[in-house]
């Protein structure tokens, strides 16, 4: 029996509070709410206004849908808390869920009690990404109604991406007095609301790498910014990126611009230079929630099938017509006329020749001709020589002053649009003339390299080949989304 009494005593001293009491305290906090549109106030940016939130389907004055903002003008968010204990009427007869300091007033407190109930006071704070950003203390609701609490900050220095405000209100313990003179609440009552926003200053971008050894130009894209974001509730997208890819044919194998050859002659042309353009922008199923730069709409001209946009989760839609009339935000060129060479077959050597004669103290001219798109570099006796000092590249013909009778070796290295590297050499001297290892029908590839994305492949040997495909008037495009990589296949504008 003694053990039982001892156990009961320990439980009284150390056991957790009954579940009913905990639930009651939580219910008191649940009575708190917010109004983000106090009379006489205007939130910034417009995406936080009642009109814009309502246009997105949010009729709740106490909660805000996520928005995207630029950072200028400086954001400002007003709010007004509500709780029964913050009004005299609510304090007079506190909700049963809100515990009071005493179940009945003492005689001394009753004698000192005011004639009417007194509303409680509250403190508030706003944390940005977990760090305190603004606060106020011992505020009455009457004073707050006249001058509502607000948060504003210079967010220009914040990183682009998702940010969160956490607004917390604390009804101070014992700050309210009931009609019976009892103070409430027994402990601080805390309620809060989070507000999410995205800062987007950087225009849509992606890293592009041209894959140029095919009939069509393929762009492999990674590091896309920003990634698509689902709308509240998952119905639609807060935003989704749109990438428009098009090209402009520059020259074919003969170095001449396209003049409208028939399909038969065109099919024989498999190498060409293209100027490639890639524009990134954003669209949204809830445009009223985006306060960004460059607001526009997709018109009839820029909604051909080469427009492709990426949905939340990575799915693609390349039906450009579906974008017609849709909102367009933050458009910017990721590639602005980047010159790229495209070829569909191996580079071959058509000729590699020295001068008819080599004389002392005279210039010797060496010529070569490759059928392929790429860059050539030259070295004589291992030392780099260039016909274009600004690029370090070498083009035919190469003139060399011969001022001795020694044997010299010229090596021409050609890197083509397929990433293949081939080298051909020629030995020359005054007494011996010249000799080369090259053959007119090409040599096996000796090495490969990874061409840098966006680097123009110049036709250093003044050779290029025809453009791709049958006649057509519009660009063609296909985006293939696979994990973190995006591949864009593009045909030239014909």
Confidence at residue 490, expressed as pLDDT on a 0 to 100 scale: 35
Confidence at residue 494, expressed as pLDDT on a 0 to 100 scale: 24
Q: What value does the mean pLDDT of the chain take?
A: 77
pLDDT in tens, 207-229: 888 776 766 667 777 888 899 99
CA–CA separation, 321 vs 96, rounded Å?
A: 59
Half-sphere exposure of 472 (CA within 13 A, CB side): 13
Task: State yes or no: pLDDT of 67 exceeds 60.
Answer: yes
Confidence at residue 340, expressed as pLDDT on a 0 to 100 scale: 77
CA–CA separation, 333 vs 331, rounded Å?
A: 7
Closest by alpha carbon to 284, among 298, 302, 272?
298
Which of 1-10, 186-195, 469-478 is the most confident on average? 186-195
What is the pLDDT averaged over residues 390-395? 89
Task: State yes or no: pLDDT of 64 exceeds 60.
Answer: yes
Confidence at residue 151, expressed as pLDDT on a 0 to 100 scale: 98
Confidence at residue 193, expressed as pLDDT on a 0 to 100 scale: 98
What is the pLDDT averaged over residues 36-42? 96
Q: How far lies 177's CA from each of 101, 115, 139, in Å?
A: 10, 11, 16
SS (H, E, C) the chain: CHHHHHHHHHHHHHCCCCHHHHHHHHHHHHCCEEECCCCCCCCECHHHCHHHHHHCCCCCCCCCCCEEECCCCCCEEECEEECHHHCHHHHHCCCCCCCCCCCCCCHHHHHHCCCCCECCEEEEEEEECCEEEEEEEEEEHHHHHHCCCEEECCCCCCCCEEEEEEEEEEECCCCEECCCCCEECCCCEEEEEEEEEEECCCCCEEEEEEECECCCEEEEEEEEECCCEECHHHCCEEEEEEEEEEEEEEECCCCCCCCCCCHHHHHCCCEEEEEEEEEEEEECCCHHHEECCCCEECCCCCCCCCEEEECCCCCEECCHHHHCCCEEEEEEEEEEEEEEEEECCCCEEEEEECCCCCCCCEEEEEEEEEECCEEEEEEECCEEECCECCCCECCCCEEEEECCCCCEEEEEEEEECCCEEEEEEEEEECCCEEEECCCCCCCCCCEECCCCCCCCCCCCCCCCCCCCCCCCCCCEEEEEEECCEEEEEEECEC
Task: State yes or no: pLDDT of 174 exceeds 90.
Answer: yes
**Of the candidate ranges 250-254, 480-484, 486-490, the one whose mean pLDDT is the lowest:** 480-484
* pLDDT bucket at 65, cuts 50 / 70 / 90: very high
Give the architecture (CATH level 2) of 348-448. Sandwich (2.60)
**Of the candidate ranges 101-105, 291-295, 300-304, the one whose mean pLDDT is the lowest:** 101-105
CA–CA separation, 271 vs 214, rounded Å?
A: 9
Closest by alpha carbon to 338, among 398, 278, 415?
278
Q: Are 407 and 427 in contact (CB under 8 A)?
A: yes
If one compares 171 and 308, the residue with the highest pLDDT of the two is 171
Confidence at residue 466, expressed as pLDDT on a 0 to 100 scale: 21
Which sequence spans correspond to the domains of the chain?
A: 19-199, 205-343+470-491, 348-448
Confidence at residue 207, expressed as pLDDT on a 0 to 100 scale: 83
**Of the candidate ranges 65-74, 306-315, 437-446, the one whose mean pLDDT is the lowest:** 437-446
pLDDT in tens, 402-456: 999 999 999 999 988 777 888 899 999 998 888 888 776 544 333 222 233 333 3
Confidence at residue 2, expressed as pLDDT on a 0 to 100 scale: 44
Task: State yes or no: pLDDT of 90 exceeds 90.
Answer: yes
Task: State yes or no: pLDDT of 341 exceeds 90.
Answer: no
Confidence at residue 51, expressed as pLDDT on a 0 to 100 scale: 97
Confidence at residue 464, expressed as pLDDT on a 0 to 100 scale: 21
Confidence at residue 105, expressed as pLDDT on a 0 to 100 scale: 46
pLDDT in tens, 239-281: 998 888 777 777 655 445 555 444 334 434 556 667 788 888 9
Q: Are 318 and 307 in contact (CB under 8 A)?
A: yes
CA–CA separation, 174 vs 177, rounded Å?
A: 7
Confidence at residue 312, expressed as pLDDT on a 0 to 100 scale: 65
What is the pLDDT averaged over residues 65-71? 94
**Of the candidate ranges 72-76, 181-185, 232-236, 300-304, the one whose mean pLDDT is the lowest:** 300-304
* pLDDT bucket at 125, cuts 50 / 70 / 90: very high
Query: The dihedral of CA 128, 134, 140, 141: what is its sign?
Result: negative
């Amino acid at each position: 029996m003694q053990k039982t009494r001892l156990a009961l005593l320990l439980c009284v001293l150390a056991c957790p509070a009954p579940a009913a009491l905990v639930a009651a305290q939580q219910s008191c906090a649940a009575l708190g709410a917010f109004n983000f549109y106090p009379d006489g106030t205007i939130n910034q940016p417009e995406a936080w206004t009642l009109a814009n939130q309502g246009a997105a389907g949010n009729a709740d004055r106490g909660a805000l849908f996520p928005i995207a903002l630029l950072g200028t003008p400086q954001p400002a968010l007003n709010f007004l808390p509500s709780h029964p204990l913050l009004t005299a009427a609510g304090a007079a007869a506190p909700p049963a869920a809100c515990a009071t300091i005493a179940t009945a007033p003492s005689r001394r407190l009753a004698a000192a009690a005011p004639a009417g109930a007194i509303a409680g006071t509250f403190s508030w704070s706003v944390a940005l990404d977990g760090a305190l950003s603004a606060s106020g203390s011992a505020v009455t609701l009457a004073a707050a109604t006249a001058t509502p609490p607000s948060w504003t900050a210079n967010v220009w220095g914040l990183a682009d991406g998702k940010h969160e405000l956490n607004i917390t209100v604390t009804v101070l313990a014992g700050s309210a007095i009931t009609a019976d003179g009892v103070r409430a609440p027994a402990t601080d009552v805390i309620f809060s609301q989070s507000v999410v926003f995205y800062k987007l200053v950087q225009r849509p971008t992606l890293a592009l790498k041209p894959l140029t050894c095919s009939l069509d130009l393929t762009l492999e894209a990674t590091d896309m910014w920003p990634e698509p974001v689902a709308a509240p509730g998952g119905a639609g997208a807060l935003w989704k990126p749109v990438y428009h890819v098009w090209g402009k044919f520059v020259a074919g194998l003969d170095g001449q611009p396209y003049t409208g050859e028939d399909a038969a002659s065109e099919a024989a042309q498999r190498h060409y230079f293209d100027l490639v353009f890639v524009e990134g922008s954003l669209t949204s199923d809830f445009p009223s929630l985006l306060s960004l730069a460059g607001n526009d709409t997709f018109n009839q001209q820029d909604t051909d099938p080469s427009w492709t946009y990426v949905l939340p989760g990575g799915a693609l839609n390349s039906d450009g017509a579906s974008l017609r009339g849709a909102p367009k935000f933050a458009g910017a060129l990721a590639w602005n006329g980047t010159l790229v060479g495209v070829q569909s077959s191996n580079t071959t050597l058509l000729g590699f020749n020295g001068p008819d004669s080599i004389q002392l103290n005279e210039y010797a001219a060496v010529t070569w001709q490759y059928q392929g798109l790429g860059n050539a570099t030259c070295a004589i006796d291992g030392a780099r020589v260039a016909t274009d000092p600004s690029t370090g590249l070498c083009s035919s013909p190469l003139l060399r002053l011969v001022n001795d009778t020694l044997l010299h070796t010229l090596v021409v290295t050609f890197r083509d649009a397929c990433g293949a590297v081939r080298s051909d050499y020629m030995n020359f001297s005054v007494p011996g003339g010249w000799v080369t290892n090259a053959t007119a029908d090409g040599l096996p590839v000796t090495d490969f390299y990874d061409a840098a994305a966006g680097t123009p492949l110049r036709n250093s040997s003044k050779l290029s080949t025809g453009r791709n495909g049958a006649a057509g008037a519009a660009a063609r495009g296909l985006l293939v989304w696979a994990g973190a990589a995006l591949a864009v296949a593009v045909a030239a504008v014909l």
